[in-house]
Copies of this chain bind each other. A is one copy, B any other.
Amino acid sequence: MSLLPSKVRVVEVGPRDGLQNQSIQVPTATKLAWIGRLARAGLREIEVTSFVRPDRIPQLADAVEVAAALPEIEGTLYSALVPNQRGLKSARSAGIDRIALFTAASETFCQKNINASIAESIERFRVLLHSVPDEKLWVRAYVSTCFGCPYEGVISPDAVVAVCRDLLALGIDELAISDTIGVATPADIDRVLDALSTLPTLDVPKQVALHLHDTRGTALVNVYAALERGISIFDAAAGGLGGCPYAPGASGNLATEDLIYLLDGLGIETGVDLAALTESSLWFERELGTPLPGRVLGAARGS
């Protein structure tokens, strides 16, 4: 075992990336109660919603209400996805100062997902960020389909580097390198991290987060391979909720419980109480009325 990071930042994306792919409409009060449980279980970074057009993702139509009523829990940082200036304005009004933008390493995926070429998405971000020059915003950018695309197949690490270079030039704080359709193995993780390491403007351990989907069960092994490379920021969704509505065949996010179980086993500090988190997900799946796919959760449920 190589020297692994002693501490990992876990970014909980269930309330946004998880819920946006659920057909079930979760009441705002339930979402807020869930977010409170997640925060009290020790999750310090939670992406709570997306300020998208309600007709696009009705599950998140209550973004303003959610953002305005977030539980105040010491040390918890909330963020939200914003697709455009209108979304940014709503997010700011609701007190959100950590935002996430969304683009892709695959042209076709980018076009189908946000109706823009990759270059156009970068230009949109430039305009959007220029619209708030004096405000202190923390900005993450999702780079989706970094390891494979449902339309284009294999994605070259060079394509990942190209979009990341442009994002860094905009002053983006964090890159969420995403395996949107869950096809990566550690060899791919290595290839992409090798390629990203060539970017002189990127501080890999501080700025690269991995956003992994567990479609083929490889999310945890990819986390481990990334840990061995010094990566210490990982996204996960409580219970393994979610997926991606624009990616055929993309099933759930890496389950936060599974990630914490691995990190606990490796003696890596996360601040998350696995028992409390599991309890929260057992409660949430009862609220949803459908079991969540996380493996540790399944073991806890006795299934």
Contact = CB atoms under 8 A, between A and B. Distances in A.
Interface string A50-90: 00000000000000000000000000000000000000000
Given A251-B298, A298-B251, A265 B186 contact: yes
Given A185-B262, A220-B220, A225 B1 contact: yes
Contact of A303 (B190, B216, B251, B262): B251
Interface string A175-211: 0000000101111101000000000000000000000
A245 interface: no
A185 B266 contact: yes
B1 A299 contact: no
Interface in A5-48: none
A261 B216 CA distance: 8
Nearest to A189: B1
A224 B299 CA distance: 22
Nearest to A185: B265
Interface of A: 1-2, 182, 184-188, 190, 214-218, 220-221, 223-225, 228, 248-249, 251, 255, 258, 261-262, 264-267, 294-296, 298-299, 302-303
A122 to B, nearest CB: 30
Contact of A255 (B186, B187, B217): B217
A174 B5 CA distance: 35
Given A1-B228, A218-B220, A221-B262, 7 more contacts: A1-B190, A2-B2, A185-B262, A215-B299, A216-B296, A249-B299, A251-B298
Contacts of A303: 251
Contacts of A261: 185, 216-218
A284 to B, nearest CB: 19
A130 B4 CA distance: 48
A182 B265 CA distance: 13
Nearest to A261: B216
Contact of A1 (B187, B215, B217, B265): B187
Nearest to A266: B187
A11 to B, nearest CB: 19
> Which among A215, A217, A248, A249 has the greatest number of chain B C-beta atoms within 10 A?
A217
A249 to B, nearest CB: 6
